[in-house]
Amino acid sequence: MSLPDFFFERVTSEIHQQMEGVLALAERLERQHLSPDALACVEGVAEAASAVRKILGASMELQQASGDSLIFDNGPVRLRDLADMIQQKWEAEAPARGVTLLVSYDGDPEAAVIADSRRLVQVFDGLIGQAMAGVRRGVIEASLRATGLGDYLSIEGRVRGGGDRNLGERALDLREIEALFGLEIAIGMALGQRIVEAQGGRLRAEPNRGGGETLIFELAAPVSVDAVAVPEPSTSARAAHILVVDDNATNRTVAQTLCEMFDCTSEAAVDGVEALDVARSGRFDLILMDIKMPRMDGVTATKEIRMLPGPAGRVPIIALTANADPEDAAAYLRAGMNDVVEKPMKPEVLLRALQENLLGEDPASAAA
Are both 62 and 79 inside the same structural domain?
no
Report, as an integer, the average pLDDT of 327-356. Answer: 87
Q: What percent of the chain has pLDDT over 90?
A: 33
Amino acid 9: pLDDT: 67
Amino acid 92: pLDDT: 80
In a domain, 147, yes or no: yes
Amino acid 166: pLDDT: 65
Domain residue limits at 8: 3-66
Are both 160 and 280 inside the same structural domain?
no
Angle at the Cα of 62 (from 114 to 190), degrees rounded to 5?
Answer: 85
Identify the CATH number of the domain in which residue 278 sits: 3.40.50.2300
In a domain, 102, yes or no: yes
Q: What is the mean pLDDT of the chain?
A: 83
Are both 215 and 334 inside the same structural domain?
no
At residue 344, does pLDDT exceed 70?
Answer: yes
Using CA atoms, how far residue 53 sits from 18, 49, 57, 123, in Å, is 9, 6, 6, 18
Q: Which residues, in sequence order, are CB contacts of 259 under 8 Å at separation 6+?
A: 242, 244, 265, 266, 288
3-state secondary structure of 141: strand
335-368: b or e for each residue (b if 16 or more CB lie within 10 Å)? bbbbbbbbbbbeeeebeebbeebbeeeebeeeee
Are both 86 and 217 inside the same structural domain?
yes
Distance separating alpha carbons of residues 105 and 99, to the nearest angstrom? 20
3-state secondary structure of 262: coil
Higher-scoring residue by pLDDT: 235, 35: 35
- Last residue of a domain, which of 171, 193, 222? 222
Report yes or no: 289 and 268 within 8 Å, Cβ to Cβ.
no
Work out whether strand 202-207 and strand 213-222 pair parallel, antiparallel, or are unpaired.
Answer: antiparallel
Higher-scoring residue by pLDDT: 237, 17: 17
Distance separating alpha carbons of residues 292 and 242, to the nearest angstrom? 19
Are both 154 and 256 inside the same structural domain?
no
At residue 235, does pLDDT exceed 70?
Answer: no
For residue 344, whether the previous peptide bond is cis, meaning omega lies within 30 degrees of 0, is: yes
Maximum CA pair distance of the chain? 72
Give 62-120 pLDDT, tens digit per residue.
766 665 567 888 899 999 999 999 998 888 888 877 888 899 999 888 899 999 998 99
In a domain, 308, yes or no: yes
In a domain, 214, yes or no: yes
Report yes or no: 215 and 162 within 8 Å, Cβ to Cβ.
no
Distance separating alpha carbons of residues 296 and 127, to the nearest angstrom? 47
3-state secondary structure of 113: strand
Are both 14 and 143 inside the same structural domain?
no
Are both 188 and 259 inside the same structural domain?
no
**Which of these, 18, 11, 201, 205, lies nearest to 119 by C-alpha position?**
201
In a domain, 231, yes or no: no
Give 143-157 pLDDT, tens digit per residue.
999 998 678 999 999
Name the band, by pLDDT with cuts 50, 70 and 90, for residue 237: very low
Are both 83 and 210 inside the same structural domain?
yes
Amino acid 8: pLDDT: 65
In a domain, 234, yes or no: no
Are both 216 and 86 inside the same structural domain?
yes
Report yes or no: 287 and 245 within 8 Å, Cβ to Cβ.
yes
Taken as a whole, the chain contains a residue count of 368
Distance separating alpha carbons of residues 108 and 357, to the nearest angstrom? 35
- Residue 168 CA, chain-centre distance (Å), reads 32
Amino acid 366: pLDDT: 35
Q: Strand pairing partners for 146?
A: 155
Give 163-209 pLDDT, tens digit per residue.
666 666 677 888 888 888 888 888 888 888 889 988 899 999 888 87
At residue 158, does pLDDT exceed 90?
Answer: yes
Are both 272 and 150 inside the same structural domain?
no
pTM of this prediction exceeds 0.75: no
In a domain, 228, yes or no: no
- Count of domains for the chain: 3
**Which of these, 240, 241, 246, lies nearest to 321 by C-alpha position?**
246
Are both 106 and 128 inside the same structural domain?
yes
At residue 11, does pLDDT exceed 80?
Answer: no
Are both 268 and 357 inside the same structural domain?
yes
Give 275-289 pLDDT, tens digit per residue.
999 999 899 999 999
Report, as an integer, the average pLDDT of 227-233. Answer: 46
Distance separating alpha carbons of residues 304 and 329, to the nearest angstrom? 19
Which segment of 35-44, 75-84, 228-237 scores lowest on mean pLDDT? 228-237
Identify the CATH number of the domain in which residue 217 sits: 3.30.565.10
Q: What percent of the chain has pLDDT over 70?
A: 86
